[in-house]
Homo-oligomer: A and B are copies of this chain.
Amino acid sequence: MKKLINSVDNVVSEALLGMEAAHPDRLRIDHANRVVLRKDGPVSGKVGLVSGGGSGHEPMHGGFVGMGMLDAACAGEVFTSPVPDQIMAATHAVDGGAGVLHIVKNYTGDVMNFEMAAEMAAAERGIRVEAVVVDDDVAVTDSLYTAGRRGVGTTVLLEKIVGAAAEAGRDLDALTEIATRISGQGRSMGLALTSCTVPAAGKPTFELADDEMELGIGIHGEPGRERLPMASAAQAAQMLVEPVLADLDFTGSPVICFVNGMGGTPLLEQYLMYGEIAKVLQAEGVTVARSLVGSYITSLEMAGLSLTLLKADEDMLTLWDAPVNTPGLRWGC
């Protein structure tokens, strides 16, 4: 294992020190609880948005903290859920008096710990907490880490859109409603060409032969649908689009198309794949209104790609375009 780290035990805490050093104008970090916070928070009268999960998926979630997106992100160990105390600390820290929304990816540990933290925050401080659980991965139902579908790329789009809605002053009920709707209208599918290596494990999570790829991979290297011979970009695009369209009708409404690199796949290939995916979508009658290409929800250095489609409405598109100022997504400010 070759990684630019000091010790496998301190990867997350030292990366948070680096984030703080790099973004002193935008972020502050509660190091004791490993919570990344918006520098100017809590914003009085605004609903606080809290997300989090295992580390190793950067920029998600810490990189999405800031004006127009999250108020706090809880960083678990690599590929490990944050604990309830972290989430409770984050919930307290972002409470601006208008309640708190938890944005949770559907992994058993995450769901359980966010729920527990919500109960504690309500009991201790009387904070009203709602939650949305994202479960958009069409690859598999139930997996190593999940009952039901896994939560993946839709989370990024949801955090941007709901973040803008919170910034615009919508209340907790309205935010819970739009978040739930987004979660229901987003679908994802991924594939991997290589494994990644979790620092504490010291060796690749799985092995793939030089001529193999894995379709339907999870963001922790969880097994997917099947191992296949390495495909061309055109074939791979088809394999990603088809199960997504088979699961939900994406015609008749504008769509946000998000092509995501898993960490080790160069942007050159991501763009090439975007082109192939766009061709398939056009042939299927899907209208792409906005797009996002880049490595935003990653699995350390895993080579691979995921596709997320979100069925949007005009309100969601307006919120997508609204200003955002985070280390990972930034425009309009």
Contact = CB atoms under 8 A, between A and B. Distances in A.
Given A15-B268, A327-B293, A274 B22 contact: yes
A202 to B, nearest CB: 11
A233 B21 contact: no
A108 to B, nearest CB: 23
A193 B14 contact: no
A147 interface: no
A22 B291 CA distance: 6
Interface string A10-42: 011011111111110000000000000000000
A11 B300 contact: no
Given A58-B266, A266-B298, A331-B333, A271 B4 contact: no
A89 B211 CA distance: 40
A58 B236 contact: no
Interface residues of A, number: 64
Nearest to A210: B2
B266 A11 contact: no
A282 B194 CA distance: 38
A144 interface: no
B333 A268 contact: no
This chain: copies in complex: 2
A273 interface: yes
Given A15-B275, A21-B274, A264-B301, A3 B293 contact: no
B3 A301 contact: no
B58 A18 contact: no
A1 B323 CA distance: 40
Interface in A262-313: 263-276, 278, 291, 293, 295, 298, 300-301, 303, 305
Residue among A16, A267, A274 with max Cβ neighbours from chain B (10 Å): A267
Contacts of A301: 264-266, 303
Contacts of A23: 291
A63 interface: yes
A174 interface: no
A4 B210 contact: no
